[in-house]
Amino acid sequence: MKIIEQKLDNYLILKIQGELDASSSITLDNALERAIQSNTENILVDCAELAYISSPGIGVFTSHLDECMTRDIAIVLFNTIPSVRKVFSILGLDAIIPIVSSEKEAKSIADGKTHSNTMS
């Protein structure tokens, strides 16, 4: 797995490429931790090239939710493939972590302009 980090205005975009499993989840954990500690306002996760996610991968996202909420940092996933989105949906996490179809929608949610967390 590879993560490409791109800072754009008040957004940090994390583009995940490959499979997010037990062996690669530490990479995402470190990227999220750095973003949170640097007081990034909005973390947008581009999942277009995320081919697979396992329980430890899901755990990385859930382990940072409280701190993101405490620091008022938005975390939004976008461009998820159906199989990855289904994992979040089955676990009910799509009700907690917004998942949308485009970067534009992700930015809109992060900016508080809309509260939708459904694919368009």
Say if CB 100 and CB 117 are below 8 A apart: yes
Boundaries of every domain in the chain:
2-110
Please state, rounded to an integer, the average pLDDT across all residues of the chain: 92
Could you give the CA distance from residue 116 to residue 17 in angstroms, rounded to a whole number? 25
CATH code of the domain made up of 2-110: 3.30.750.24
Task: Encode pLDDT of 8-28 as tens digits.
Answer: 989 999 999 999 999 999 999
Tell me the whole-structure pTM to 2 decimals.
0.91
pLDDT of residue 113: 57
Say if CB 119 and CB 99 are below 8 A apart: yes
Summarize the confidence of residues 34-47 as an average pLDDT. 95
pLDDT of residue 120: 41
Could you give the CA distance from residue 77 to residue 13 in angstroms, rounded to a whole number? 10
pLDDT of residue 17: 97
* Residue 47 scores a pLDDT above 50: yes
Task: Encode pLDDT of 63-85 as tens digits.
Answer: 999 999 999 999 999 999 999 99
* Residue 51 scores a pLDDT above 90: yes
